[in-house]
Amino acid sequence: MRQSLVIGNWKMHGSAASADALVSELLIGLAKLESVEVGVCPPYPYLPYVAIKASGTALGLGAQNCADQPEGAYTGEVSVAMLADVGCHYVLLGHSERRSIYAETDEAVVAKTAQVLAQSMCPVVCIGETLEQREAGNTLAVVGEQLGAVLAAFSAQELKTMVVAYEPVWAIGTGLTASPEQAQEVHKALREQLTSSDNSLGALRILYGGSVKAANAEELFGQPDIDGGLIGGAALKAEEFLAICAAAAKQ
Ligand code: PGA
């Protein structure tokens, strides 16, 4: 049995006041939910603050990015050890906004994954195709290559805490969602790739991301190979995010 997981990616949104209000509401709602693991990834400056509020609760904390080096003269970067120090468990890696706006390559994703694994934290490796790549019939090849880069770099034992997030680029922040069938087709192929790399990796969680909302969450999470979601816009509204978590808890 794979435990359902929902992670909220707040991106570069909010303020100390809005983070405070959002976490307060989430903690009340999540106290009533069982059978789902939930995490939030606030912007870096709010991490310690959210960590203090969420300490002793089931709400997990994550970062949206990390450095590819352990420490040193890397102005503007944040190491995974620092993230561990302030209570993070998850680190998002290779989000499509990092790949497209900041030119992050598969190599960079591998280097950052190594840092996360060295701290025994949970790498959430994001992969996904652009609309152009989908229309050219290359979806499975593109995501297969992105996941393959990570699988080739580490042993199955090292990757046992990894979470994969399939996020079609054309569905992120656009209001367009992959249909449950489209998403399931990709998740199934990813599961097969994990299993053929090492049987034990078939048990890893594969999240779907891209315009997930309360209205479509249940149908998406009901697919056999979709184990939860990585949520952007809808993670900023407590009621909406909690409804998505409730949909994952039902699976
Ligand atoms: P979205 O973002 O839910 O706003 O589409 C998802 C993500 O970027 O992780």
3-state secondary structure string across the chain: CCCCEEEEECCCCCCHHHHHHHHHHHHHHHCCCCCCEEEEECCHHHHHHHHHHHCCCCCEEEECCCCCCCCCCCCCCCCHHHHHHCCCCEEEECCHHHHHHCCCCHHHHHHHHHHHHHCCCEEEEEECCCHHHHHCCCHHHHHHHHHHHHHHHCCCCHHHHCEEEECCHHHCCCCCCCCHHHHHHHHHHHHHHHHHHCHHHHHCEEEEECCCCHHHHHHHHCCCCCCEEEECHHHHCHHHHHHHHHHHHCC
Q: How far is the CA of 72 from the centre of ligand 1 (A)?
A: 32
Task: Give tens-digit pLDDT for 11-54.
Answer: 999 999 999 999 999 999 999 999 999 999 999 999 999 999 99
Q: How far is the CA of 180 from the centre of ligand 1 (A)?
A: 16
HSE-up of residue 233 (Cα within 13 Å, Cβ side): 12
Number of Cβ within a 10 Å radius of residue 169: 21
Q: Is the pLDDT of residue 138 over 90?
A: yes
Task: Give tens-digit pLDDT for 231-249.
Answer: 999 999 999 999 999 999 9
Contacts of 135 (CB under 8 A, 6+ apart): none
Q: How far is the CA of 97 from the centre of ligand 1 (A)?
A: 10
If we measure between CA atoms, which residue out of 191, 196, 194 comes closest to residue 208? 191
pLDDT of residue 176: 87
Q: How far is the CA of 76 from the centre of ligand 1 (A)?
A: 24
Mean pLDDT of 67-80: 98
Question: What's the gap between Cα 206 and its chain centre?
Answer: 9
| Residue of 11, 101, 172 to test ligand 1 pocket, by largest number of atoms within 8 Å of CB | 172
Q: How far is the CA of 117 from the centre of ligand 1 (A)?
A: 24
3-state secondary structure string across 48-68: HHHHHHHCCCCCEEEECCCCC
Task: Give the residue whose CA is nearest to atom 2 of ligand 1.
Answer: 232
Q: Is the pLDDT of residue 97 over 90?
A: yes
Q: Which residues line ligand 1 (CB under 6 A)?
A: 9, 167, 172-173, 209-212, 230-234
Task: Give tens-digit pLDDT for 142-196.
Answer: 999 999 999 999 999 999 999 999 999 999 989 888 999 999 999 999 999 999 9
Number of Cβ within a 10 Å radius of residue 44: 17
Q: Which residues are catalytic?
A: 95, 167
If we measure between CA atoms, which residue out of 78, 49, 48, 50 comes closest to residue 64? 78
| Residue of 5, 127, 230, 245 to test ligand 1 pocket, by largest number of atoms within 8 Å of CB | 230
- Reported confidence tier of residue 1, pLDDT bands at 50, 70, 90: confident
- Reported confidence tier of residue 71, pLDDT bands at 50, 70, 90: very high
If we measure between CA atoms, which residue out of 128, 66, 58 comes closest to residue 92? 66
Kindly report the backbone phi and psi dihedral angles of residue 102, in degrees, each rounded to the nearest multiple of 5, phi listed first: -110, 15
Q: Which pTM value belongs to this model?
A: 0.98
Task: Give the residue whose CA is nearest to atom 7 of ligand 1.
Answer: 232
Give the number of the atom of ligand 1 that is nearest the alpha carbon of residue 230. Answer: 9
